Structure 1
Amino acid sequence: MIRKIFLGLIVLIIGFFIYIAFQKGDFHYERSGVIAAAPEKVFPYLSHLQLASQWSPFEPAHSNMKKTYSGDDGHAGAAMDFDGDNKTGSGRIEILDVIENERVDLKLSMHKPIKAENTIRYTVAPVEGGTQFTWSMSGKSDFIGKLMSTIMNPEQFMGAQLEEGIHNLQNLLGSYYAEEAMNLSSKPTTVRWADKHYIFIERKGPFQLTARQSWDELSEVMAELTAQNKVLGAFSSYTGEPEKVYRAGVEVAAKPKTVPTGMQYERFRGGRYAKFTLTGSYRYLPAASEKAETYLETNKTAIRDSYYIENYISNPKETAEEKLVTEILIPIK
């Protein structure tokens, strides 16, 4: 009797393994949502691996994840190697192809806890109300993957992760472009910006990435700057297309004898500017700058070819976020 039960169990186990082996190996998970921003505003967050931590559901909860970037971020060949805990695992994500403001293809290679290779695709398209963002993941399941799919519903689980990422991006960009919460002066005043002694860090690329990087790097040398110079204030200067250049810097009282490694000095040439004033969080600056530029274009004010300026009137260490004052200066003829 025991022998028959034992043999029966073996038959059941073998049958179960055969059943698992013949399960469909291909999978495709996909979710979509509308982001309240134009495709060109959404796309850098998808095409740049270093911006993914601002919205990806796979990164924020694992701040101890070790990440190493290589290649030209935002272009094919760029990659991020990551090593996290048992839940996150370790692996590599690489950009395969980028079609600007349309599509990004990536390859996800997992090393731990199990080995796997999946294809990820982000697509964006303009729709009423903003941008349709579609996030998909495709691949093949090995035997372990097929076995796990009989225990849990991977489509439901992964679908929830994709939905969370889309929701995070909606919240992130929605807060940037929520005009009802933006306290921006309705009309500009015309001012003449004087020449300045300017020490700065310069970076090229999407402002969503380079602005934060530049100010983080500047904060690391502020003690050295203030010890060697009389710092009068802080402002950023930037240019748009075709080459996005962002500078985070400080105005000093005189030409410096030396500058910290990685920084530059120039006599910043001023001129005539249209000045708008934003009161509130720095997160509104991208939308506020865009709104200010649109106002000038609508009113047929000629913009000259020079650096735009964000002049930070308030000290963020001493001022409540909702009371921060920033002057947005656009060069005009």
Structure 2
Amino acid sequence: MKKLKNFLIGLLIVALALVIVAFFLPRQVHVERSGTIEAPPKVVFNQVNNLHTWEKWAVWNQIDPEMKVEFENTGVGEGAAYTWESENSNVGSGRLTITASEPYDSIATEMDFMEKGTSSGYFLFEEVGKGTKVTWGFDIDLGNNPADRWMGLMFDSMLGKDFEKGIENLGVVSETIVQEGRPIVEIVTVPEFNYVSMRSNIQFENTSTQMGVMYGKLSNFIDNNDLMMTDTPYAIYHKIDGTMIDLECGIPVEYKTETNGDIISGIMPAKKYATADHFGSHETLGETHQFIQNWIVENGFELVGSPMEKYLTDPQKEPDVSKWVTAIYYPVR
């Protein structure tokens, strides 16, 4: 009996010692890992900025294929979030939110583990040669719980491995996109702008010729009225019916002005778009259009208007079609 009593007293002393020591252990835990990916910052950034793609590279998202995920605020960019629920004890339930998003530079996140508390994280993207250095960081306040303080000693070794594997997976995803030449679709808001434009129903086979005629008339109008072009020309495909296209060609200008005849002047309101750049000949623009259309559906957006193309390369100044760049925009919500 005396031995049992001494044993219990010993256990109590050890337990008390562990509690006391725990208050001297770090309350704040920081975990950080870095890696280099052979892909541009724009490509890598967008695989993190779009929460729909996390299942392709984040380690925790791959542990339980049956995990239930619901996206909030479209799941893309600042303010986007997703909640997850899993019966796997290593995954559990929680909510991840993108609290800040600076294109191609950094992303900040917050993870709510429900009764287990919250943590903050971040991703930094730095261009290194033709690749990107990615830094993934994590910070958590363990509070005053002695058990959590002791667990905190293992966070770096446990989470560090997951971060390293996650960056490795992110590299595979990003580098594959580059190798396959897939477009990068982003969500942007184009601010309102003044414009002059012309709109006409034309035969599909005459598109290039008619666009040249309309842009020529618009350029002459701008010159004759001392207007200043403020951005590259654009075209809006209002409707395609068989071989006929309801096409509007426009040029952004510094202010709205009086017009006559076929030329219109107005203000294009600010809109949210799903956008991607097309590289190469205009003859293959349809492939990038289709890619964006599929992306809109797959990521839960709704199309709310007609597509617009902005011609970032002047064919008269750059004869090499492989160097042509066309930005394609689809209005969404």
Aligned to 2:61: 59
From 5, 8, 15, give the equivalent of 1:6.
8
Q: Report if the CA contact (8 A) 1:94-1:108 is conserved.
A: yes
Aligned: 1:139 with 2:140: yes
Aligned to 2:32: 30
Aligned to 2:104: 101
Aligned to 1:288: none
Aligned to 2:160: 159
Q: Which SS does the other structure have where 1:205 is aligned?
A: strand
Task: Report the aligned-residue RMSD.
Answer: 4.0
Offset of 1:149 from its aligned partner? 4.0
The 1-side partners of 2:325 and 2:95 are apart by 44
Q: Report if the CA contact (8 A) 2:29-2:152 is conserved.
A: no
Distance 1:305 1:13, change over 3 A: closer
Aligned to 2:92: 89
The 2-side partners of 1:28 and 1:165 are apart by 17
Q: Report if the CA contact (8 A) 1:204-1:246 is conserved.
A: no
Aligned: 1:71 with 2:73: yes
Q: Report if the CA contact (8 A) 1:197-1:265 is conserved.
A: no
Offset of 1:88 from its aligned partner? 0.4
TM-score by length of 2: 0.56
1:301-320 residue pairs with structure 2 within 5 A?
Answer: 301=321, 303=324
Aligned to 1:247: 293
Aligned to 1:259: none
**Structure 1 letter corresponding to 2:172:** N
Aligned to 2:20: 18
Aligned to 2:280: none
Identity %: 19
TM-score by length of 1: 0.56
The 2-side partners of 1:154 and 1:307 are apart by 44
Aligned to 1:124: 125
Offset of 1:53 from its aligned partner? 1.2
Offset of 1:41 from its aligned partner? 1.2
The 1-side partners of 2:173 and 2:160 are apart by 20
The 2-side partners of 1:35 and 1:109 are apart by 29
Distance 1:197 1:76, change over 3 A: same
Q: Report if the CA contact (8 A) 2:289-2:328 is conserved.
A: yes
Aligned to 2:274: 205
Q: Report if the CA contact (8 A) 1:91-1:110 is conserved.
A: yes
Offset of 1:303 from its aligned partner? 4.8
The 1-side partners of 2:56 and 2:13 are apart by 51
Q: Report if the CA contact (8 A) 1:124-1:134 is conserved.
A: yes
The 1-side partners of 2:8 and 2:60 are apart by 44
Offset of 1:90 from its aligned partner? 0.5
Offset of 1:147 from its aligned partner? 3.0
Q: Which string of whole-angstrom CA distances, capped at 9 and with x for unpartnered residues, describes residues 225-270 of structure 1? A: xxxxxxxxxx64529xxxxx92249xxxxxxxxxxxx89999x9xx
Offset of 1:300 from its aligned partner? 3.9
Q: Report if the CA contact (8 A) 1:238-1:246 is conserved.
A: yes
Q: Which SS does the other structure have where 2:9 is aligned?
A: helix
Show structure 1 runs of 5+ residues with no match.
Answer: 183-191, 209-234, 240-244, 250-261, 269-292, 309-333
Q: Which SS does the other structure have where 2:77 is aligned?
A: coil
Distance 1:24 1:35, change over 3 A: same
Q: Report if the CA contact (8 A) 2:25-2:150 is conserved.
A: no
Q: Whose Rg is larger?
A: 2
**Structure 2 letter corresponding to 1:57:** V
From 44, 47, 56, give the equivalent of 2:46.
44
Distance 1:90 1:127, change over 3 A: same
Offset of 1:177 from its aligned partner? 2.4
Show structure 2 runs of 5+ residues with no match.
Answer: 183-204, 208-239, 244-271, 278-285, 296-301, 308-312
The 1-side partners of 2:109 and 2:138 are apart by 9
From 261, 268, 289, give the equivalent of 1:238.
289
The 2-side partners of 1:306 and 1:175 are apart by 22
Offset of 1:115 from its aligned partner? 0.9
Distance 1:101 1:21, change over 3 A: same
Distance 1:307 1:121, change over 3 A: closer
Aligned pair count reads 223
